[in-house]
Amino acid sequence: MIDIKILGTGCPKCKALEKLTRAVVEKAAIEANITKVENIADIMRYNVMVTPALVINGKVMIKGRIPTMVELQQLLIMT
């Protein structure tokens, strides 16, 4: 099972990344645990200064932007 964290305080881009991630996981039938992290202190532990950010299995994969659906699918499938 893949552990996915969406880092962001609740801005529109953060919500869009969460929605996109959930859609890709469902469409590709990927077993994943998706968590939304909104606490600034928790976000800072990942050395992320700009959100939204996507963490897969403890590694920051994307920060400061929303990936395309294809890019996100590739990241999740390769994991």
When pLDDT is cut at 50, 70 and 90, the band that residue 79 belongs to is confident
Q: Has 14 been annotated as catalytic?
A: yes
Q: Of 9, 11, 64, 68, which residue is the catalytic one? A: 11
What pLDDT does 78 receive? 84
What pLDDT does 59 receive? 96
Residue 67 has which token pair? 């990936």
What pLDDT does 74 receive? 94
What pLDDT does 22 receive? 97
Q: Has 55 been annotated as catalytic?
A: no
Domain ranges of the chain: 2-78
Q: What is the pLDDT of residues 19-76, one digit of tens each?
A: 999 999 999 999 999 999 999 999 999 999 999 999 999 999 999 999 999 999 999 9
Instruction: Please tell me the class of the 2-78 domain.
Output: alpha beta
Residue 58 has which token pair? 């403890």
Q: Of 6, 14, 72, 75, which residue is the catalytic one? A: 14
Count Cβ atoms below 10 Å from residue 18 Cβ, excluding itself. 19
